[in-house]
Amino acid sequence: MLNIVIFGAPGSGKGTQSERIVEKYGLDHISTGDVLRGEIAKGTELGNTAKALIDHGQLIPDELMIEILASKLDALTESKGVIFDGFPRTIAQAGALKAMLNERGQDVTAMIELDVPEDELMVRLLKRGQESGRADDNEETIKKRLVVYAQQTAPLKDWYKNDGKHCYINGSGELDRIFADIVEAIESKL
């Protein structure tokens, strides 16, 4: 199984490049936001628990998120692998993901880090906000999201480097060049 974690600050191109990776390798795309919304919509026990937490303004505990991801992964019986988008966000979550995959005889193949300078991220996100009308793509909110990313999520780079899975990708420039670099990185981990 080819399991990829795609990683980068808001606006780094994770969604765009995830689509290309899914198409090239025939992977399933697991977005934690989509999975949560799906479980809630289906009214599953996990979805109901998640909804109750969200409705009270609480974050989904790591254990519950891993349980939901495990359920989703187990349902993909014909899968060639998965790209994880939006998870893990912390070192604790990375460890839990590794343990969950190891229980299934799998592991993360590669962690793709899309690195884009903060000033370019700001330009991209403001443009996206203007084009899509996304309320969270405004300068004040973007700055807060980038701070949270730097504090909470960026330390994952070292964790995945220590695990031998980290692949640095310069996320600035031409989309096809970025994707070619991603493919080269994935192939180097196979």
- Asked if 118 and 182 count as a contact pair (C-beta separation under 8 A), the reply is no
HSE-CB for 139 with a 13 A CA cutoff: 2
- Asked if 108 and 3 count as a contact pair (C-beta separation under 8 A), the reply is yes
Full DSSP string of 71-87: HHHHH-TT-SEEEEES-
Residues designated catalytic: 14, 89, 128, 134, 145
Pairing of strands 2-8, 28-31: unpaired
- Alpha-carbon distance of 185 to 60, in angstroms, equals 32
What are the Cα distances from residue 157, in Å, to 27, 69, 132, 183?
A: 23, 21, 30, 19
